[in-house]
Amino acid sequence: MPSTRLIYFGDSNDSKYGTLRGTVAFIPLFLVLMYASYFYHTPSISMGARILAIGLTALLLCSAVGVQLPNTSSEAFLYGGLVGLVVSSCCVCFMFISTGSSMTYIAIVPLLILTVSLTSLLTMKVSKRLGFYP
């Protein structure tokens, strides 16, 4: 059974490395979400508002990915998938209660699961190579 550790505010060193891992995760998340936003394009939303919303979403997701200290690739992939599942499910539920329909947004669930899983795996590989683990 895979298990993983989460740490961020243990000490200043943990905070530094957590922030660096989060930065590694932010870039691919932002790029994928920006690309995906063109498929769910709403003309009434300005480009500035779209970039701000995508930036905040990527920041929140990279915060969840950056605190993980996986031992294996499967732990990183599984944890990322769980984060993606929880966040995308919450978004779909919110869309349902606010608009009455979530069918248009249901495709975001597998997209976000796969995106955050792969980002978590990439973050683990890059962070190990750069020494971002305590």
Task: Specify the pTM.
Answer: 0.84
In a domain, 73, yes or no: yes
> Considering the chain, what is the average pLDDT of its residues?
85
Query: Does residue 78 belong to any structural domain of this protein?
Result: yes
- C-alpha 71/C-alpha 56 separation (Å) is 28
Position 27 scores a pLDDT of: 94
pLDDT value at position 92?
Answer: 83
User: What was the pLDDT predicted at 126?
Assistant: 94
What average pLDDT does range 25-35 have in this prediction?
92
Domain extent at residue 78: 10-130
Average pLDDT over residues 17-36: 90
Q: Is residue 110 part of a domain?
A: yes
pLDDT surpasses 70 at 8: no
| 66 inside domain | yes
Total count of domains within the chain: 1
Whole-angstrom Cα distance, residue 116 to residue 76?
10
